[in-house]
Chains A and B, each alone.
Chain A
Amino acid sequence: MAQVGLARQRLARVVPTLVLVVAAVFFIAPLLSMARFALQNVQVFQLGTSNLFKNWSFSEVTRAFHEPAFGSTLLLSLRLALGTVLLTLGLLIPTALLVHVKLPKARAAVEFFTLLPYMVPPIALVAGVIGFIRPNARWFVSSNYSLIPFYVVLALPFTYRSIDAGIRAIDVRTLIDASRSLGAGWGTTLRRALLPNLRSAIISSSFLTATVVLGEFTMAQVLLKRTFPQFLAEFGRKEARGGIALALLTLVATTALLGLLTLLTRRKGATGRRGGLAETLTAGPITVPSERA
């Protein structure tokens, strides 16, 4: 009996480690390969185990920085990200609060509708835009910023879930009642009693929005906008190594930002609060934004 128990205990320790190692290799090997291909000044066919540390340089990345379109497309994408974040928060926070407090019965329906953009491929969405909005409101789609509302829709499955998780984690109803009984109107209640307690949910949903915007390719392509992902694709076609280098850099920057925000959302006084980035990413049916080009 004891023997079996011991063997089982050992197995319970070995299996998770094994899974972790396999998964790590699966994720890290391609990244390392990307890094070697892009950042090592060695002919591809010569890359092997003997020259692991030879001739590493950032010259490919710097080359990308000197491309004239680099700055302008990055700036446009950042602006689009900012606009999308603001519009998303402005629309979603009041909606989610309203649904939660006044229309709890509508919650399932709203949840379903916010998931739709995840099920409908962006290409179908953009086909609708071309078919309907372009002939009817040409002036609208001609602006670069016309992408913003579509990005809001694209990011909806992630952002709504994040905000919703944040709202669920606090007793919104009681907080509203308490605030109002203390003489606060709706504005003060939102500003002083609700938003600070949704902080981590707001940060994580902003981050998810930005990730979607900075990686979205299809819509921008079809609507002929030169966003950062367009530049990335173009540059990659022209300069194989430079493209990979830039993609890798984007990935690293995004990950660093993710780490930073996870740290930020875990501040004092917030213990036990939900809706932070980690919870949003691990909870629910969606795990990772997949709209990246």
Chain B
Amino acid sequence: MTALSFHGVRKTFGPTVALYGLDLDIKDGEMITLLGPSGCGKTTALRIAAGFEFADSGIVEVGGADISGTPAHRRNMGMVFQSYSLFPNLSVAQNIDFGLRTRKIDKPQRQKRVNEMLDLVQLGEFAGRYPHQLSGGQQQRVALARALAPQPQLLLLDEPLSALDAKVRATLREEIKRIQTELGITTLFVTHDQDEALAISDRIGVMSSGRLEQLGTPTEVYRRPSTAFVARFVGSMNELRGAVTGDSVDVLSYRIPVPAAAQHATGTPVLLLVRPEDFELVTEPDQGLSGTVTGVTFQGATTIVGVRLDVLDQLVNVETRAGADPVIGSRVAVAVDGTRGVCEPAHVVVAAVSTTAA
């Protein structure tokens, strides 16, 4: 069943188009992340869902009912904000109670619910504290408890972790996922942090300049990015300039089979995007592109080797299993597995270079 749907939701702010007709269906109990750089429209989509902004055209539905015109306070959605949003004049317990009071629930029931929520976010002994006596992470946990207390139909999370430091962010991320799974509440999460998105989402919608570029599971988005934007934004990417030949890309005389290349006509100059883990250092120079090692970054299980290719002076990163790491300045050859590569038509200048070189 669909819990939340956007149908052709369009929104402009003056001359700026924030959303070009967004279509998105979120299933019951699912956690969907809208991922994208700032200004891509993800927050606008969330604020439209919350009722803080209204779409210029298009429909927002919750459980099949059109709520496009319903004001925010009648929408029954819980929201956690990027900035600390607890009411400074109220204690932790009173903050959690806020939404229960507005719903005119009687006192003993409210008390019970507040205690449940405090247990859920493991802040029982902080009930009487005031927000300024809590750390950032604790404040966001209270904010989560407050949002969930009135048992909303939907949970909206607007970059709730971005104000926190790295360690707290990781813990709270896990906690949000645990609570979300435990309660089975449909959740729309907005972030610009790909690690966050990949770690906790059921599905990710990658957005760019007001458009949804791709919607898919974290694996799909990472493994099979449907556009060059998605490929670059999620995870890191190497870019190779080349030209299409059938279902391969030729980087000079080195031919890389790339299924995605078939969409382009033979001879089209392209940028081939391939992840560092699909590159491999090889011993025979004729089995790859030759180059010089410019950097070695040890990352624990893997090592990132920076290589400046002889071809067009292109810099690439190669992810290798830790082992015999090459020395900076040494000559290496790099083999490319283009199975999961993405092709983007290149600019004319680049085309001129690559065709003459070929």
Distance in angstroms from A105 CB to nearest chain B CB is: 12
Decide: B87 and A181 in contact? CB cutoff 8 A. Answer: no
Q: Tell me the complex Cα distance, A53–B103, Å.
A: 67
**B336 touches A (CB below 8 Å):** no
Stretch at the interface among B74-82, B166-174, B196-204, B304-312: B74-82
A94 within 8 A of B: no
Q: Mark A163-187, 1 if CB is under 8 A from B, else 0.
A: 0000000110011011111111100
Contact in complex: A181, B79 (CB < 8 Å): yes
A273 contacts chain B at the CB level, 8 A cutoff? yes
Within the complex, what minimum Cβ distance (angstroms) separates B97 from chain A? 10
Q: Confirm or deny: B147 has a beta carbon within 8 angstroms of a beta carbon on chain A.
A: yes
Known interface pairs A177-B50, A188-B102; A182-B85 also in contact (CB < 8 Å)? no
Q: Assuming A184-B73, A269-B88, A269-B132, is B81 touching A178 (CB within 8 A)?
A: yes
The size class of the interface chain B forms with chain A is 20 to 34
Contact bitstring A195-225, B, C-beta under 8 A = 1, else 0: 0110100000000000000000000000000
Contact A177–B85 (Cβ < 8 Å): yes
Could you say which interface size class chain A belongs to?
20 to 34
Mark each residue of chain B from 54 to 81: 1 if its CB lies under 8 Å from any CB of chain A, else 0. 0000000000000000011111111101
Q: Spell out A's residues near B (CB within 8 Å).
A: 170-171, 174-175, 177-185, 188, 192-193, 196-197, 199, 268-273
A157 to nearest B CB, angstroms? Answer: 28
A181-B147, A269-B88 known; 6 other A-B pairs, CB under 8 Å?
A180-B71, A181-B73, A181-B79, A182-B146, A184-B102, A192-B87
A175 touches B85 (CB 8 A): yes
Closest-by-CB residue of A relative to B87 is A193
Complex CA gap A199/B72 in Å reads 26
Q: Contact at A177–B81, with CB atoms within 8 Å? A: yes
Could you jot down 23 A-B contacts, CB within 8 Å?
A: A171-B83, A171-B84, A174-B84, A177-B72, A177-B81, A178-B79, A178-B87, A178-B146, A181-B51, A181-B156, A182-B99, A182-B146, A182-B147, A182-B150, A183-B103, A184-B73, A184-B98, A193-B98, A196-B89, A197-B88, A269-B89, A270-B88, A270-B89
Proximity string of chain B (137-152) to chain A, C-beta cutoff 8 Å, 1 when within and 0 when not: 0000001001100100
CB distance from B135 to the nearest CB of A (A): 15
